[in-house]
Amino acid sequence: MKLEAKNLIKKFNKTIAVNNISFEIKKNETLGMLGPNGCGKTTSIGMLLGLITPSSGEILIDGISLNSRNRVKLLSFMNFSSPYVELPKKLTVKQNLEVYARLYGVKKIDERVNEMVEDLNLKKFLNKKSGELSSGQKNRVSLAKSLINKPKLLFLDEPTASLDPDIGDFIRKYIEKYKKNNELTMLLASHNMREVERLCDKIIMMKQGIIVDRGSCNDLIKKHGRANLEDTFLKIARSEK
Amino acid sequence: MNWSKIFALSLRHVYLIRGSFPRILDLIYWPTIQIFLWGFISKFFTLNSSIYENTVGIILSAAILYDFLFRASISYNMMFLEEIWSRNFTNLFIAPIRICEIITALTLTAIFRTLIGLVPAALLAIPLFNVSILEIGVPLVFLLITLYIFGVTLGLLVTSGLIRFGPSFENIAWASLFFLAPLGCIYYPIEILPEWLQIIAKLLPLVHIFEEMRSILIYDIINHFQILKAIFISFLYFVVGIFIFYLSYDGAKSRGTLINMGE
């Protein structure tokens, strides 16, 4: 699926959270959305998920506008995972996956849930309540939920935040493997620059609601004369403009 | 309407209740306490007053019907609050579900929660106080439906507030029914109210429902027009409730409060 954001603006009263941003993610491409805290990433993702109404601008998914008329149809091809959004704590992992499989209209529910359980190593805590899981386990379950409908367009917000390096690496590897075997366009918001370098085809750098730079990781590193993406990020984040 | 998605949303709440014995106990506990309390109070009135021949029956039936309304509304609110408390709001609203499907799922599941609480209490009133709400007869079905629609409407209004103002609106969820109770003329006839309040009270379906209940239990008279009026008023509020819910949802999307709403 191709995602296009055209001249998106979001104002909250007098504050401009997102100021006229435009970008495109081609089919099967992964875009990294970077920027310091409060730069408008969450608001942008909220608009792309249909959770926040843009003040102006347009979001097109495969050429179809993400408006209230097309919302349900388009959302069935999309999904989202974030460590800051949880699944019902009192339901077991299995129950949560089943409920979300049904909500997304998955046909062979048991089969799909079992696939996710196998792929993401969820078997040990499948019947445990989601609220009783560790951060690493929660992130894996959240990722399972976000892939339950085999989305064509996936939004990941800091998928490895607060995870130990081992589990973080497991998740990154899994995302890479999944992307290789499935048709998937992805938007990744992350503060982990190595993760972004590893997973993203191109990136946009946001600051104070606008896109201040864009391109492939290597191009940006070269352009700013830095050794890696982290230094490039710091240079852009600390610059006056 | 996709009934499979409605079922999925209901299933989430069924799993929640089924998985927690304290939760089931909590649902049964309060209606049962109500029945005991009002049963003994009205028994005391019977012994010391000759106004009604059947004081226990009338007051207890009113308590059961009022509790039905209360439980329906609270159940609706609670299911919505569960989503906020578990920080599941974003996941719910990015799933491919229509708002009307969310409303339908909550409305249908609320009856399940309501009945878990109320059926044991209503059954307990039969051997303990010799009172059965079934004595109201066939009109009971219509009175319950009307109460249920109004209870869900109050739930819709409170959840609209939760969407609009966030979790801080939670206290209103608990207070909403107590605010209406004095005007509902649940335990006393409408004539008790001052005239100007009677005009306002008549705009609520509760007055018509409880007046009708008393008319049936005391005088054995069924006033079909009053029942129809109650259904009509409830339904009117329900439509208004749905409209306000949609407005709140659109407003929340504009203000960006749907994302990351939680404790």
Q: Give me the residue spans of the domains in chain B.
A: 3-255
Q: What pLDDT is stored for residue B54 in this prediction?
A: 66
A107 Cβ partners below 8 Å, 6+ apart? none
Q: Map residue B90 onto helix, strand or coil.
A: helix
Contacts of A89 in chain B (CB under 8 A): 86
Q: What is the pLDDT of residue A240?
A: 65
For residue A206, what are the β-bridge partners? Answer: A211
Widest CA span of chain A, in angstroms? 53
A204 bridge partner residues:
A33, A214
Residue of chain B with shortest Cα separation from A130 = B86
- The pair of three-digit structure tokens given for residue B260, joined into one six-digit string: 């990351």
Q: Quick check: B108 contacting A, CB < 8 Å?
A: no
pLDDT over 90 (residue A129): yes
pLDDT for the residue A3 = 95
Query: Looking at the predicted structure, is the pLDDT value of residue A144 above 90?
Result: yes
B163 in contact with A, Cβ within 8 Å: no
Side chain identity, residue A39:
C
Given pLDDT bands bounded at 50, 70 and 90, which one contains residue B121?
confident
Say if the Cβ atoms of A51 and B97 lie within 8 Å. Answer: no
Interface of B with A in 60-99 (CB under 8 A): 82-83, 86-91, 93-98
For the stretch A163-210, pLDDT in tens is 888 888 888 999 999 999 999 999 999 888 888 999 999 999 999 999
| Cα separation, A109 vs A97, whole angstroms | 9
| Mutation site for B-interface testing, chosen from A99, A141, A158 by largest number of B Cβ within 10 Å | A99
In this predicted structure, what is the pLDDT of residue A156?
94
B150: pLDDT strictly greater than 60? yes
- Identify the bridge partners of residue A207 per DSSP, sorted by sequence position: A210
End-to-end CA distance of chain A: 34
In the predicted model, what is the mean pLDDT of residues A127-153? 93
Residue A157 and residue A142: Cα distance in Å, rounded?
A: 11
pLDDT at A4 (0 to 100): 96
Chain A interface with B: residues with Cβ < 8 Å: 10, 12, 17, 42-43, 46, 49-53, 71-76, 78-80, 82, 84-92, 95, 98-100, 102-105, 129, 131, 145
Q: In terms of Cα–Cα distance, which of A67, A72, A64, A19 is closest to A43?
A: A19
- Alpha-carbon gap: A147 to the closest alpha carbon of chain B (Å): 12
- Report chain B residues whose CB lies below 8 A from the CB of A49: 90, 94
**Pairwise CA distance, residues A67 & A58, whole Å:** 9
ipTM value: 0.89
Distance from CA of A87 to the nearest CA of B (A): 5
Please report the pLDDT score of residue B4 as a whole number: 92
pLDDT greater than 60 at residue B250:
yes
Taking the C-alpha atoms of residue B118 and residue B127, their distance in angstroms, rounded to an integer, is 15
How large a percentage of chain B has pLDDT more than 70? Answer: 96
Q: pLDDT averaged over chain A?
A: 91
Given the structure tokens 């989503």, which residue do they identify? B83
- State the Cα–Cα distance between residues A129 and B125, nearest whole angstrom: 37
What pLDDT score was predicted for residue B261? 64
Q: In which band, very low, low, confident or very high, does the pLDDT at B262 lie, cut at 50, 70 and 90?
A: low
Q: What are phi and psi of B163, to 5 degrees?
A: -65, -40
pLDDT mean over B76-93: 86
Nearest CA in chain A to B256: A52
CA angle A8, A13, A18 (to 5 degrees): 25
Residue A126: strand, helix, or coil: coil
Give yes or no for B12 touching A (CB within 8 A): yes
Instruction: Give Dmax over CA atoms of chain B in angstroms.
Output: 61
Q: What is the mean pLDDT of chain B?
A: 87
Backbone angles phi, psi at A30, to 5 degrees: -120, 125
pLDDT, tens digit, 9 for 90 and up, residues B37-69: 888 888 887 777 666 566 778 888 898 999 899
Q: What whole-number distance in Å separates Cα of residue A216 and Cα of residue B64?
A: 67
Distance of CA A8 to the CA centre of its chain: 18
